[in-house]
Amino acid sequence: MAMRVLLEKEGHVIVGETDNGVDALSLVKDLIPDLVVLDIGIPRLDGLEVISRISAFELPLKVLVLTGQSASLFAMRCMQAGASGFVCKQGGLSELISAVNAVVAGYNYFPSTAVRQTRRNNGQMDDQELIQRLSDREMAVLQYLANGYSNKEISEQMFISNKTVSTYKTRLLLKLNAHSLVDLIEFAKRNALV
């Protein structure tokens, strides 16, 4: 609500709002807005998938991600999916206005820390690098698992089969050097993915 009031006060016209990824895609097709402000943590179709699908529409619009997720873990993924900007909710509404104005003017708006890669002195990958190796779908499955969703619930949320969810779980265990679902959940919580 505060975001809507602030954007309207700045002269922006809000043409639609929704609380899930499936409806967001439908609204984008119907309304063709200049800018979509999107939280990647939305239900029914994860935000990264929404960004990718919006990009595939080849419409003259921009996507700005406004989220509580970590910039160091998600900003680069959003950029790769086709977003034009990334703002953390912790940055406050004034940063949102700056980002909206920059993106509408044709600029990209991403935190500089988002593109930095870090390595430990011993050459082993740290958690951020492990996360960067995950596909967008693997990341979504990890987040659902960490939030207590069952395979069946995940398959319904992501519109994929139960078997595909199991395959993603197996890949997550391998890629994150985890030995159990508990390890995956601890990894997600340690890295503020939930």
Assess whether 92 and 135 both reside in one domain. Answer: no
Q: What is the pLDDT of residue 144?
A: 94
Assess whether 58 and 151 both reside in one domain. Answer: no
What is the rounded CA–CA span in Å between residue 45 and residue 25? 9
| Domain-ending residue, one of 115, 135, 165 | 115
Is the whole model's pTM more than 0.75, yes or no?
A: no
CB 70 within 8 A of CB 78: no
C-alpha distances in Å from residue 25, one per residue of 9, 34, 86, 94, 180: 26, 14, 19, 27, 35
Q: What is the pLDDT of residue 1?
A: 62
* pLDDT tens digits, one per residue of 77-127: 898 889 999 999 888 788 899 999 999 998 999 887 664 533 333 445 678
| Domain-ending residue, one of 64, 88, 115 | 115
What is the C-alpha radius of gyration for the chain, rounded to an integer number of angstroms? 17
- For 40, the domain range is 2-115
Q: What is the pLDDT of residue 177?
A: 83
CATH classification at residue 162: 1.10.10.10
**For range 189-193, the mean pLDDT:** 86
| Domain-ending residue, one of 115, 149, 179 | 115
Assess whether 23 and 88 both reside in one domain. Answer: yes
CB 172 within 8 A of CB 143: no
Residue 121 maps to a domain: no
CB 177 within 8 A of CB 169: no
Q: What is the pLDDT of residue 120?
A: 39
Q: What is the tally of structural domains in the chain?
A: 2
Assess whether 152 and 186 both reside in one domain. Answer: yes
Assess whether 145 and 103 both reside in one domain. Answer: no
CATH classification at residue 28: 3.40.50.2300
Query: Which two tokens mark 54?
Result: 């919006």
Q: What is the pLDDT of residue 87?
A: 94
Percent of the chain residues past pLDDT 70, beyond the cut: 93
Burial tier of 159 (Cβ tally within 10 Å: 0-12, 13-18, 19+): exposed
